[in-house]
Amino acid sequence: MKVILSVVTLVVMMTTMSSKAQAAQCEVELINGRGMTLEVFRGHGYDRIDACQEATQDCRRVIRSGYYRARVLNCEISRRQQNRMVHRSCSAEMVGPRGRTIQSFLAQASGPQGTGVKAQACQRAIRQCNLAKQRAGRIHAVCISENRTGGGYNRPIPPRRPQPVPVPPRRGGGRGRGI
């Protein structure tokens, strides 16, 4: 029994250790004195630094070989690779007709930096809110996200203002009850 248990734990440890190892890529461009890219080198490694070192070594090897006869040759890390992946989250609220928050929603999105990841997260949160609003039958409720768009149409919603609570009319005892 102990042997089986130790084998199972060993297998679990091996799978978790192998899943933590990640491969990274890096591109290095060989550029002449006029700024034109002559060749692109790709490196692979366990992390970005290791991958960039490998690609830079390949680039420098080509410079030393004399294959390109330009006076000025430089190895530069590609700018395209510098767009890092980002993770953003956004919240949306379902607000009732009297300005009270009925329910809150949270959504996340990830992608390259500068591609509107935050807007995607807010769009997902608004979509969740609108679906919940539809299922609950709350036709007078409004969905508002952090970036103040709602209704599913990305139209701006004006900021909420406190509104007075309507008072129902008094019943009985008022004017002229037929004397």
Q: Are residues 39 and 93 in the same domain?
A: no
Structure tokens at 100: 């009270």
Quick one: what percent of the chain has pLDDT higher than 90?
Answer: 37
Last residue of one domain, picked from the residues 60, 82, 104? 82
Q: Max Cα separation, the chain?
A: 116
- pLDDT of residue 101 exceeding 60: yes
Is residue 127, in this structure, part of any structural domain at all? Answer: yes
Is residue 173, in this structure, part of any structural domain at all? Answer: no
Please give the Cα distance from 175 to 125 (Å, whole number): 52
Q: Which of 106, 58, 56 is nearest to 76 (CA)?
A: 56
- pLDDT of residue 3 exceeding 90: no
Is residue 14, in this structure, part of any structural domain at all? Answer: no
Last residue of one domain, picked from the residues 36, 67, 82? 82
Is residue 94, in this structure, part of any structural domain at all? Answer: yes
Contact 105, 154 (CB under 8 A): no
Question: What residues make up the domain containing 136?
Answer: 85-155
The 10s digit of each residue's pLDDT in 104-148 is 999 999 887 777 888 899 999 999 999 999 999 988 899 998 775
The 10s digit of each residue's pLDDT in 17-56 is 544 445 788 899 999 988 888 999 999 988 888 989 999 9
Is residue 9, in this structure, part of any structural domain at all? Answer: no
Q: Which amino acid is at 29?
A: E
Cα-to-chain-centroid distance, residue 132? 22
Q: Are residues 105 and 147 in the same domain?
A: yes
Give the pTM.
Answer: 0.42
Q: Are residues 26 and 78 in the same domain?
A: yes
Please give the Cα distance from 174 to 179 (Å, whole number): 12
Confidence of residue 155 (pLDDT cuts 50, 70, 90): very low
> Which H/E stretch holds residue 95?
strand 85-95
Contact 145, 125 (CB under 8 A): yes
How many structural domains does the chain have? 2
Which pairs from 172-178 meet CB under 8 Å and 24+ separation? Answer: none
Q: Are residues 53 and 93 in the same domain?
A: no
Q: What is the pLDDT of residue 167?
A: 80
Is residue 120, in this structure, part of any structural domain at all? Answer: yes
What SS3 string covers 128-152?
HHHHHHHHHCCCCCEEEECCCEECC
Q: Are residues 40 and 68 in the same domain?
A: yes
Q: Are residues 89 and 114 in the same domain?
A: yes
Q: What is the pLDDT of residue 160?
A: 62
Q: Which of 39, 24, 45 is nearest to 74 (CA)?
A: 39
Q: Are residues 101 and 149 in the same domain?
A: yes
Q: Are residues 91 and 142 in the same domain?
A: yes
